[in-house]
């Protein structure tokens, strides 16, 4: 089988790239290791920057997002129970859309199937070959039969553990990583959210976040040790802790209910450079991971594939290779700015082990400064809604 672009991974990055190419008449094949049900059931983030929403508009896969998504003009920061609001729309003229990554994935899969795009689930033993040559290829096994996909280019959208990044020789690959000494214990429940916008809380007992997926489905998180035993964290214990950390106003508006999903996620900052080797290009979690504070993961993946799609379109439509040559540098410039914001926001809102009294006092002082500074709030707002694409 032959195609123009082989896309490894059917997460939002790979699926969105496929659609961006499809609307321009460029052939692509998406290979996914898992089955469709598994891909559509993964619980992920749910805050979309304007850039991401615009890309879904661009490929005509945004009808349900506009119908069911929740536009947010701001969010709140709570400090030991006292809350102040960051008015993103007033400060930047932009807003974000709360719409689950799971729903984005479902919409993109539905569009791929309806439009006859080539999407192969349960493609096992995927391997990349000759990526630094003019004729790369991908091999995989489907239903027990070995297959070869010849292509012009490969887009590695296969996440942190996929084979794409591993195809870059170690002497050419440089990685940067910070692993945080705590995780986010998350609970999903079919109850109304305690506020119409997100609340990020810095409390002496640790970080908490009140979020939502819809007007009737809430997503809450608390900072917890990485080795926390979920069996010990009963629903009642989590609700009690949320009520303390989020403060009395949020607690008074909180509706409790049974969890429908409970998990603990580690936090890390990770970047791989370069994001290109020969005719293979990395995008999304294959190249970088951010802590979920600030909601940059999906949005960075979307900006990656926007840059990559535009470069591929220029190659096929105009015969220009400049975009492909400059992809890694361009994408990494945005990646590092998002990494910086996520690192800073995590440090601002979390209690670190062995934090000494002066570090806590400095953290509280910075939050107090932000409460009264429009300049400081504008910095947060413009990063949260997403920096402009260059």
384 catalytic residue (yes or no) = yes
Half-sphere exposure of 51 (CA within 13 A, CB side): 21
Q: Cα(116)–Cα(259) distance, rounded to whole angstroms?
A: 37
Q: Cα(211)–Cα(66) distance, rounded to whole angstroms?
A: 19
CB of 367 closer than 8 Å to CB of 348: yes
CB of 33 closer than 8 Å to CB of 124: yes
Angle at 170 between CA 167 and CA 173, to 5 degrees: 85
307 catalytic residue (yes or no) = no
Take residue 187 and report the two structure tokens written for it: 């609970």
- Single out the catalytic residue among 136, 163, 193, 292: 292
- Single out the catalytic residue among 72, 277, 306, 330: 72
161 catalytic residue (yes or no) = no
- Single out the catalytic residue among 180, 200, 220, 327: 200
Cα–Cα distances in Å, from 146 out to 32, 75, 133, 155, 223? 15, 50, 22, 21, 45
Using a 10 angstrom Cβ sphere, with 0-12 exposed, 13-18 middle and 19 or more buried, the burial of residue 318 is exposed
For the chain, the straight-line distance linking the first and the last C-alpha, in angstroms and rounded, comes to: 36
- Single out the catalytic residue among 99, 307, 327, 384: 384
- Single out the catalytic residue among 277, 288, 296, 330: 296
Among all residues, which ones are annotated catalytic?
72, 200, 292, 296, 384
């Amino acid at each position: 089988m032959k195609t123009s672009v082989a896309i490894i991974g059917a997460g939002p990055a790979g699926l969105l790239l496929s659609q961006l190419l499809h609307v321009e008449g460029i052939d692509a094949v998406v290979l996914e290791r898992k089955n469709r049900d598994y891909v559509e059931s993964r619980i992920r983030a749910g805050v979309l920057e304007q850039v991401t929403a615009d890309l879904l508009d661009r490929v005509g896969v945004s009808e349900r997002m506009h119908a069911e998504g929740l536009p947010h003009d701001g969010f709140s920061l709570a400090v030991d129970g006292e809350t102040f609001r960051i008015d993103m729309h007033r400060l930047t003229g932009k807003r974000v859309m709360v719409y689950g990554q799971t729903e984005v994935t479902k919409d993109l899969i539905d569009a791929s199937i309806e439009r006859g795009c080539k999407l192969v689930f349960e493609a096992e033993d995927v391997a990349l070959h000759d990526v630094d040559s003019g004729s790369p290829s991908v091999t995989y096994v489907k239903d027990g039969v070995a297959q070869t996909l010849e292509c012009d280019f490969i887009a590695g959208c296969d996440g942190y553990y996929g084979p794409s990044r591993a195809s870059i020789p170690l002497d050419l690959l440089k990685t940067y990583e910070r692993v945080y000494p705590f995780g986010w214990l998350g609970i999903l429940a079919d109850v109304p959210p305690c506020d119409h916008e997100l609340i990020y809380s810095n409390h002496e007992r640790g970080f908490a976040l009140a979020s939502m997926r819809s007007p009737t489905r809430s997503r809450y998180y608390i900072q917890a040790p990485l080795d926390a035993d979920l069996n010990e964290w009963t629903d009642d214990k989590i609700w009690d802790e949320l009520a303390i950390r989020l403060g009395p106003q949020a607690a008074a508006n909180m509706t409790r209910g049974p969890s429908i999903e409970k998990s603990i996620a580690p936090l890390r900052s990770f970047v791989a450079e370069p994001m290109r080797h020969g005719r293979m290009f990395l995008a999304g979690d294959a190249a970088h991971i951010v802590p979920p504070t600030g909601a940059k993961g999906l949005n960075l993946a979307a900006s990656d594939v926007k840059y990559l799609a535009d470069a591929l379109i220029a190659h096929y439509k105009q015969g220009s290779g400049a975009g492909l040559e400059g992809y890694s540098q361009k994408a990494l410039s945005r990646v590092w700015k998002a990494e910086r914001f996520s690192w800073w926001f995590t440090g601002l809102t979390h209690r670190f082990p062995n934090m000494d009294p002066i570090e806590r006092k400095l953290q509280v002082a910075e939050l107090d400064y932000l409460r009264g500074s429009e300049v400081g709030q504008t910095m947060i707002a413009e990063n949260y809604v997403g920096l402009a694409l260059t």
